Structure 1
Amino acid sequence: MSHIDKLIQELCPDGVEFKALSDLTTKTSNVRWSDTAKESYRYIDLSSVDRVTKQIHQTVEITTDDAPSRARQLVQSGDVIFATTRPTQMRWTVIPEEYDGQIASTGYCVLRPDSEQVLTGFLAHSLGTETFKQYVTAQQVEGNYPSIPDTRVRAFRLPVPPLEVQREIVSILDKFTALEAELEAELEARKQQYEHYRTELLNPGDDAEWSTLAGVSKHVSSGGTPKAGKAEFYEDGTIPWLRTNEVRFADVWETEVKITEEAVRQTSAKWVPADTVVVAISGATAGRSAVTRIPLTTNQHCCNLEINPYQADFRYVFHWIASRYQELKALGRGARSDLNAAIIKSFPIPVPSLAEQRQIVEKLDAFDALTTDLSVGLPAELAARRKQYEYYRDRLLTFKELEVQS
């Protein structure tokens, strides 16, 4: 019998009480922008939290002058936040010390654990369980952008074993996540090595011939957003519709949202072919790039480059744009640093022979696979660790409910 089994047998042999999250968490508060005197905050929006690592990876500084309407919730270290927009994506994180007193979007349900009843780590691990995901799936409000009200999140009933049992469970599960973090760090180092290698391979010589992205493209276009709420544009849609938050320096094989033939007929969301290079032009995503591996449509914040195969290899163009992300992003204009089609079309690109381009692509694609392909190397090991963690998490966080004596 394991130590945790002994603890359960000793402290809660007949089961544990289940309580609503609302009874296990304490009150939070919103910022009063009128009282901030232009003090700056780091803003945690829905794209700030990585769905896989559960870490906050990108925020922006905001003040009362430029705060988005959803920037309202003050968070403290130890809070657990769960994204209520597209909740089945299971986007959640624990607020670390460095984000204490910062601002989170109202697109998150902020859960502040009552430490006398539930540990932060126990609550956080519980939000990843299959049981919670099934609950969220059943309780979400369907629509173009599915969501779940905070009240329904807080109504979820969590098993609450004694704190000593919680600590032991958290200790075990944290060891799994620590191993994942080590692999993540190693993978990140490999990615940095890849970026250095890519820069060297793409470095143009003194005698390089230059063109522009427009010069190597046979067609440049953008898309559109079918009006939200019109069922005929989204209901039972089968046409992939790409948004900029899905443009992530990678191949695009599917999209989160589908639209209908009627949407394509009536709006500017038009088809683009496979092997199109897409560059995001809006806000936080500006400058990011991707390659469509299927025919799809896009929103208006995507600049779509259909590459002329007699001028350039589409993957060579993608690698070049990705390698010049910071340079391209720096050309953004306005408060949100947006790009536009004119900026992207005029962006310079060296154009070696097609044979040389393909040699470069072959080398970069092979190295890229070492950092992204889930079937080999570090990505495969990391995926295996995550499956192992998920198995033990769901097993350790499953409890018999204590029967209430009448």
Structure 2
Amino acid sequence: MSKLDELIKELCPNGVEYKELGEICITVTSPLKLKKSDYKIEGKIPIIDQGEEYIAGYIDFNEYLPKEEYILFGDHSEIIKYVNFEFIQGADGLKILRTKNQIKVKYIYYCFNNFYKKENGYKRHWSNAKRTLIPIPPLEVQDEIVKILDDYTKSVEELKEKLNEELIARKKQYSWYRDYLLKFENKVKMVKIGDLFEFKNGINKDKSSFGKGTPIINYVNVYKKNKIYFEDLKGLVEASNDELVRYGVKRGDVFFTRTSETIEEIGYTSVLLEDIENCVFSGFLLRARPITDLLLPEYCAYCFSTSNIRNAIIKKSTYTTRALTNGTSLSQIEIPLPPLEVQKRIVEVLDNFEKICNDLNIGLPAEIEARQKQYEFYRNFLLTFNNEEIYALSKQASKQASKQASKQASKQASKQASKQAQNLIKILQYVYGYIEVRLGDIGSIVRGNGLQKRDFTEDGVGCIHYGQIYTKYGMVAEKTISFVEESLAEKLRKVEKGDIIFAVTSENIEDLCKCVVWLGEEKIVTGGHTAILKHNQNSKFLAYYFQTEAFHSQKRKMATGTKVMDVTATKLEEILISLPSLEEQQRIVDILDRFDKLCNDISEGLPAEIEARQKQYEYYREKLLTFKNIND
């Protein structure tokens, strides 16, 4: 038998009396009620309001409630909090309670949370909450119950804190990706909202009309979620047949919050994703109804949440005592309008990220944190389309990491940034078919060292000298024609299967940067005047690309020297390449390989035919490896 069981058996074996919360508590009046605009990030005194955040902000005022035990009840939000320190009340709608007759405040707090039945809906709830029945056992029993629940709450709070950190990280990652993916800039047509939607204010009714009647989309539905379904609607309102027509809703409608206490929270949006019969929307909202078929509703749910669009909405809003917006102002804002097929793929990508963010059971904590960062990155990027940001991604992330961390931590951050860049490339390849990237974004390029022809031996470790790339090797090699002793090989740059070796020194510009793909199973070495590309793409696709005019035109601009020309590894990393998916790379390689075979098999045709095939091959190679520049 537990200590609690013993106490109950001894002190209240026949049960306990139940009393209404209003009978056992008194209401405390705060000396001040602050507006949200007064909230600060730092300060001596915490500000507590009826919002979900335990502490809403801080301030340095001298008037505040003294350090005591309090129960706080959100008259509109129905959120219950326990406080045992000095604080200032933030905004209206907060009931501050203390207990009578030495009843333990913490015990009543636990009971209130347990027995109170939430009404939901935007109205005042204290008149109902104060009638909540609370069991009143002897103080010794109250003490033991509080002790047990405190211990349990501590373990739960520790878990909740970890999960909350994971969720916050996920949301940051989601927002980053959403904004990055949905920015588009000048690469996608920008259209004014007023050319795509027509606006209407919502229904206004007196208080007696609420709580019964037809479903209504309320401010809270829009503020909390970017997508609305019938199951989300808790509010009811009485509406006439005429009002049902004028304020009706249907799938694809976008709702904006048209008023807020702070300018930062104005114009939050949510999209209705299913038809709801006999449903209306609140007067605190604006309805934007599509007047074209150019937008997917699911795309709108993400597009209007991006930081670019949010900032535009805030700039178009006004603020005196409250922030306000209207259909006329919102109509002037431009949003990106990609093709429907691209919208569909963007939604598919972001839906998957959102599912991960909303399911804390997916993945280990470390994975969840990484996923959230990745999600926000992709969401923003899919709606961004800024190639320059892709090129600079790894460098920017590394610079930021070096400022914020030690050398070791910076390396870790740099690896993470590189991994994030690779994931981004895959996402954009899926959504748009290809992405233009720097060579440095798909791998690393290192300069060779040492190795002269006099170092060659009859056997040993395979090696490729830069001069042999011009004279002895084709595009691909599986065996070397030269070797070096093992002791020398230890000092030279290693080449693994799939690596590409460039000859980066030449007496003529056309031969400069000729390359060979190493496809042998054994590691080999190379020497000076070479650069080695280590990557995660299709090696032969890259090698074919390095034969195109698109590559050569960039190489010419990077070369230095007159009699002997050279291109550094750092400059090679800046070469831009149009990169399709790995599957598409392989398809292109298969086609070019067949052409290559035909062109090089003398037995299959006369020299004239071979020449024609060679021209045809070069034509198709250029065609397959040339992509339309999205900036043009």
TM (norm. structure 1) is 0.69
Alpha carbons 1:90, 1:128 under 8 Å: kept: no
What CA distance in whole angstroms lies between the structure 2 residues aligned with 1:378 and 1:327? 37
Counterpart residue number, 1:9: 6
What CA distance in whole angstroms lies between the structure 1 residues aligned with 2:66 and 2:244? 40
Find the partner of 1:83 among 74, 80, 86. 74
> Cα distance 1:81–1:216, how it changes in 2: closer, same or farther (>3 A)?
same
Q: What SS does the aligned partner of 1:224 have?
A: coil
Counterpart residue number, 2:202: 223
Letter in 2 for 1:321: F
More contact order relative to length (CA 8 Å, sep ≥ 6): 1
Count of aligned pairs between the two proteins? 339
Write the deviation string for residues 158-200 of structure 1: whole angstroms up to 9, x where unpaired: 4452424422332123312321222122111111111111112
1:283-294 aligned at under 5 Å gives the runs 283-284=260-261, 285-293=265-273, 294=275
Q: What SS does the aligned partner of 1:196 have?
A: helix
Counterpart residue number, 2:98: 112
What CA distance in whole angstroms lies between the structure 2 residues aligned with 1:191 and 1:220? 30
Larger helix fraction of residues: 2
Counterpart residue number, 2:194: 214
Alpha carbons 2:226, 2:302 under 8 Å: kept: no
What CA distance in whole angstroms lies between the structure 2 residues aligned with 1:257 and 1:165? 36
1:257-406 aligned at under 5 Å gives the runs 257-262=235-240, 264-265=241-242, 270-284=247-261, 285-293=265-273, 294-295=275-276, 296-324=279-307, 325-335=310-320, 336-372=322-358
What CA distance in whole angstroms lies between the structure 1 residues aligned with 2:84 and 2:31? 19
Letter in 2 for 1:102: I
Q: Which runs of 5+ in 2 are unaligned?
A: 40-45, 366-632
What CA distance in whole angstroms lies between the structure 1 residues aligned with 2:239 and 2:101? 52
> RMSD value over aligned CA atoms?
4.1
1:30-179 aligned at under 5 Å gives the runs 30-31=30-31, 46=50, 48=51, 50=52, 55-56=53-54, 78-85=69-76, 90-95=78-83, 100-104=86-90, 107-112=93-98, 117-120=103-106, 122-129=107-114, 131-133=115-117, 145=123, 147-149=125-127, 152-153=130-131, 156-159=134-137, 160=139, 161-179=141-159
Measured after TM superposition, the shift of residue 348 of structure 1 is 1.3
Alpha carbons 1:119, 1:163 under 8 Å: kept: no
Write the deviation string for residues 105-148 of structure 1: whole angstroms up to 9, x where unpaired: 5633322357964153x33332221x333xx77xx9xx994634
Alpha carbons 2:202, 2:247 under 8 Å: kept: yes
Letter in 2 for 1:31: P
Most deviating of 152-161 and 325-334: 152-161
Q: What SS does the aligned partner of 1:272 have?
A: coil
Q: Which runs of 5+ in 1 are unaligned?
A: 64-72, 380-406
Measured after TM superposition, the shift of residue 101 of structure 1 is 3.0
> Cα distance 1:91–1:189, how it changes in 2: closer, same or farther (>3 A)?
same
Measured after TM superposition, the shift of residue 40 of structure 1 is 5.3
Percent sequence identity over matched residues? 17
TM (norm. structure 2) is 0.46
Counterpart residue number, 2:566: none
Letter in 2 for 1:243: N
Write the deviation string for residues 262-303 of structure 1: whole angstroms up to 9, x where unpaired: 2x5259961021221111110145221111134331122212
What CA distance in whole angstroms lies between the structure 1 residues aligned with 2:271 and 2:74? 28
What CA distance in whole angstroms lies between the structure 2 residues aligned with 1:178 and 1:331? 42
> Cα distance 1:235–1:277, how it changes in 2: closer, same or farther (>3 A)?
closer
> Cα distance 1:76–1:318, how it changes in 2: closer, same or farther (>3 A)?
farther
Alpha carbons 1:213, 1:347 under 8 Å: kept: yes
Larger Rg belongs to: 2
What CA distance in whole angstroms lies between the structure 2 residues aligned with 1:107 and 1:258? 22
Write the deviation string for residues 2-42 of structure 1: whole angstroms up to 9, x where unpaired: xxx23542576343755755676566234378xx9xx9578
